[in-house]
Amino acid sequence: MNNHEPLIHIARRDGLVWWRAWCVRLVSLILALLVSALFIYSITKLNPAKVYAAMWEGAFGSARRAWITARDASILLCIGVGLAPAFMMRFWNVGAEGQMLMGGCATAAVLIYCGGALSTFQLLLLSAVVSVAAGAVWGVIPAFFKARWNTNETLFTLMMNYIAIQITCFLVALWENPKGSNSVGVINQQTQAGWLPALFGKQYLLNVVIVLALTVAMYLYLKYTKHGYEISVVGESENTARYAGISVKRVIVRTMALSGAVCGLSGFIAVAGASHTISTSTAGGRGFTAIIVAWMAKFNTFVMIVIALLLVFLEKGAVQIASQFHLNDYASDVVTGIILFFLLGSEFFIQYTVRFRSHSQKNEEVEA
């Protein structure tokens, strides 16, 4: 019997030089913009250049819009940074949405119950601590079951999201203000007690500074500390980790405590530094979007800055073109989806190489 070579052969790359990897991503972005332009013109007959200019206007058209974009990107980045250690350990934490909500609920509780008794600095410090603790607890619960009974962490963390949503609904009903509004309203609106203050006259600059400091700290932690080394070893092979004397169970619980804590801190930033209220939409799907941020950045927290900013830019731009050109949300979301599809697809060509059967091989098969 003759052995026929397949027409297409896919093999994993040994490694691609960083600048070539970024060239692949750049080419994919250009192709995405071209395909999106074709879609825009075929559906709306609009000039794609004007549509892209409107997207830029929606995200960075004024100083206020630019700072709002930076604010939202910092929250998304914070969650992505929180997911990095868990994903590096191959613990698929899809519960960032719930961990963020629990951190936000803890922050709201401090602002509501202690708003008149403590100074702003004390409120902020206490809010940050309880939000970190709440997120850490929400992360440790599935980690303990994974370490003890090897449960499925994806399903477990996903279900924890729904529990967090119901707890948030209960607290919104408890803190309803005014009564009958089905919302908490702006907390401490008159006194602004517990709100993150402006820095150098910029309202959201402190949010950005906190998250950037956290980004640097997480990068150093994962790359240069013993704990970071243990996380990478467990992620590569649990058996190898055990052979090296690493307690896999301890690493799982400790790492998920850290992951949940950082995601909980994003809830603090969202409540104390952005919306100043709590609801089920506080997370707004960012816990799932941050999965794209962490995955595309290959757990490099510095690269996450670029990815988070890009995703928020696309979100703001989609809203702008929908309103400016009277498009429905579906059309603008298609543009965002096309760009994300190409960017995610580029990762395949960075990780794998595609080879086609050569002409000589075809001839050999014919002769055989």
Do 93 and 190 belong together in one domain?
Answer: yes
Q: Is residue 308 part of a domain?
A: no
Q: Considering the domain boundaries, does residue 144 fall inside one?
A: yes
Does residue 253 sit in the same domain as residue 286?
yes
Question: By three-state DSSP, how is residue 199 classified?
Answer: strand
Residue 3: the pLDDT is: 57
Distance CA 69, CA 205 (A): 12
260 vs 134: CA distance, rounded Å: 8
Tokens of 126: 């206490």
pLDDT above 70: percentage of residues in the chain: 96
Last residue of a domain, one of 303, 333, 359: 303
| Residue 176 belongs to a domain | yes
| Residue-number span of the structural domain to which 332 is assigned | 1-46+325-368
Q: Which two structure tokens, joined as six digits, stand for 198?
A: 């402006």
In-domain check, residue 315: no
Task: Tell me if 120 is assigned to some domain.
Answer: yes
Packed helices 120-149 and 248-270: angle between N→C axes, nearest 10 degrees:
150
Instruction: Pick 294 or 332 by higher pLDDT.
Output: 294
Q: Are 16 and 93 part of one and the same domain?
A: no
Token pair of 338 as six digits: 């096309």
Per-residue pLDDT tens for 256-273?
999 999 999 999 999 999
* Overall domain count for the chain: 2
Containing 8, the helix (H) or strand (E) segment is: strand 8-12
Note whether 116 and 10 are same-domain residues.
no
- Other C-beta atoms within 10 Å of 274: how many? 19
Single residue among 272, 303, 334 that ends a domain in this structure: 303
Q: Do residue 16 and residue 88 come from a single domain?
A: no
Rounded to an integer, what distance in angstroms lies between the CA atom of residue 213 and that of residue 223? 16
Whether 242 is in a domain gets the answer yes
User: Is pLDDT above 70 for 105?
Assistant: yes
Same domain, 298 and 334: no
User: Are residues 269 and 336 part of one domain?
Assistant: no
pLDDT digits (tens, 9 = 90+) for 116-153: 889 999 999 999 999 999 999 999 999 999 999 999 99
Do residue 296 and residue 227 come from a single domain? yes
Between CA 270 and CA 108 the distance in angstroms is 10
User: Do residues 33 and 81 share a domain?
Assistant: no
Is the pLDDT score of 90 beyond 90? Answer: yes
Residue 57 lies in a domain: no
Nearest residue to 59 (alpha-carbon basis) of 343, 336, 275, 298: 336
In a domain, 320, yes or no: no
CB 270 within 8 A of CB 104: yes
Whether the model pTM is above 0.85: yes
For position 21, what pLDDT does the model report? 85
Cα–Cα nearest to 272, from 355, 366, 204? 204
The band of 366, judged by pLDDT with boundaries at 50, 70 and 90, is very low
* Cβ contact 99:135 at 8 Å: yes
Please state the rounded mean pLDDT for residues 303-320: 93
pLDDT tens per residue, range 8-23: 878 888 777 888 888 9
Bridge partners of 8? 356
Quote the tokens at residue 54.
């409107």
CA distances from residue 269 to 65, 76, 171, 222 in whole angstroms, order as listed: 18, 11, 19, 23
Same domain? For 224 and 159 the reply is yes
